Structure 1
Amino acid sequence: MPILNVKISQPASDRLTHDVSEILLELTTRILRKKRELTSIAIDYVPPEHWVVGGRTLAAQGKNSFYFDIKVVDGTNTKDEKAQYIAEAFAAFGKLLGSLHEESYIYVHDVRAEAYGFGGLTQEYRYIKGKT
């Protein structure tokens, strides 16, 4: 917990997968205080000629882009933490990918603890179990 779904406008590579996952693990652990060992990341690579912004492909614009969403339990992070996370993630991807299109997105989903979980158990159950 949490899960991150990432799309990057680059060809797939082991090196980029490693770099992206390390950036996201570091930011998610440091800023959002999530456990590294419970953080899952799925990365999809989209060719720049198949990613369209404003009616033109990224390839035609000479730009790169990314999108990722992360699901966290509602109430576990402040607005300031989420704003810092989004700002630092955007900057890190800019350094990694170069020529970053401004229309690159990060979405932090606040989900209800009783509607979210892993290993067959909700986060609400884990919270209550941890109190006993």
Structure 2
Amino acid sequence: MPMLNLELATAPSAPLARTLAATLRTLTAERLGKRPELTAVSLRFVDPAHWFVDGQSLTELGRPAALLVLRITEGSNTPEAIAAYLAAVHEALRAQLPDLHPVSYTVVDGVPASAWGWGGRTQASRRGSSA
């Protein structure tokens, strides 16, 4: 039941948002084995004039940038799987945003099963049940 929050420093685009949401959902299922029907993606566009790298705004640099934060249950994936996921996400973002600034980040946040859930139940309470 991953939750993905993607921030993009680029002009807002509904088609880009839809494409990236679908791509991230697919990558999260394929690379991390997460259930697509429980995968949520939130996307927010940030004015490039308000995003800075090395003291320069992305407007000045003329490049987009991204920050993806993925929340999953702690310990549900190996470090190797997470590393492969990070690489795949970066390549997917570059495919849609060819000038993507290399200082774009992906964070995989492992949340304890007792502090994370959906539908009013923790992941810990779901262990051993069919839901």
Scaled by the length of structure 1, the TM-score of the pair is 0.94
Letter aligned with residue 90 of structure 1: H
Letter aligned with residue 37 of structure 2: E
- Equivalent residue number for residue 99 of structure 2: 99
2:78 paired with 1:78: yes
The 2-side partners of 1:104 and 1:15 are apart by: 21
- Equivalent residue number for residue 49 of structure 2: 49
Matched residue of 1:37: which SS?
helix
Letter aligned with residue 99 of structure 2: S
The 2-side partners of 1:128 and 1:73 are apart by: 15
The 2-side partners of 1:99 and 1:129 are apart by: 46
Deviates more, 1:6-15 or 1:75-84: 6-15
How far off its partner does 1:128 sit?
A: 3.5
Task: Say what the alpha-carbon RMSD is for the aligned residues.
Answer: 1.3
Structure 1: runs of 5 or more not aligned? none
The 2-side partners of 1:91 and 1:129 are apart by: 36
Deviations 1:6-49 (A, max 9, x none): 10012222101111101101100000000101000110101211
The 2-side partners of 1:87 and 1:93 are apart by: 10
The 2-side partners of 1:44 and 1:14 are apart by: 11
Structure 2: runs of 5 or more not aligned? none
How far off its partner does 1:130 sit?
A: 3.8
Matched residue of 1:41: which SS?
strand
Scaled by the length of structure 2, the TM-score of the pair is 0.95
Matched residue of 2:64: which SS?
coil
Deviations 1:104-130 (A, max 9, x none): 000001111011001110000011434
* Length, aligned pairs only: 131
5 Å matches for 1:1-132? 1-130=1-130
Matched residue of 1:76: which SS?
coil
Q: Aligned residues: percent identity?
A: 34
The 2-side partners of 1:129 and 1:29 are apart by: 21
Matched residue of 2:34: which SS?
coil
